[in-house]
Copies of this chain bind each other. A is one copy, B any other.
Amino acid sequence: MSQDDRKNRVTVDIYGQAYTIVGPESNSHMRHVASYVDEKMREISVHNPSLDVQRLAVLTAVNAVHEYMKIREDAEKLEQELQQKRTE
């Protein structure tokens, strides 16, 4: 998702600021993603109250990428297991 000129456009609130996000996904998916990011930023700020918003947002991105890489690894393992089952 980005701020370019693709299909759907939705304005969301993340950590008190408005963002217009644009993408081929449904508005409800984009709202869901935005509210997840908002929630994560609030969670991290509770544990790190001295962080400014920029650093908070970067650490939220770091956490999201970490979660993404973990689950991508899980998906790869499942895919391998499934390949084996298919050839059994």
CA distance A51 to B15 in the complex (A): 16
Determine how many copies of this chain the complex contains.
2
The dominant DSSP class at the A interface is helix
Please encode chain A, from 32 to 47, with 1 for each CB lying within 8 Å of some chain B CB and 0 for all others.
1110110011001001
B contact residues around A71 at 8 Å (CB): 68, 71-72, 75
B contact residues around A3 at 8 Å (CB): 47-48, 51, 59
Q: Please tell me if the beta carbons of B68 and A67 are within 8 angstroms of each other in the complex.
A: yes
B contact residues around A15 at 8 Å (CB): 58
Residues of A within 8 A of B (CB): 1-4, 14-15, 17, 19, 21, 23, 25, 29, 32-34, 36-37, 40-41, 44, 47-48, 51, 53-55, 57-69, 71-72, 74-75, 78-79, 81-82, 85-86
Q: Which 4 A-B pairs have the closest CB atoms?
A: A57-B57, A64-B64, A78-B78, A61-B61
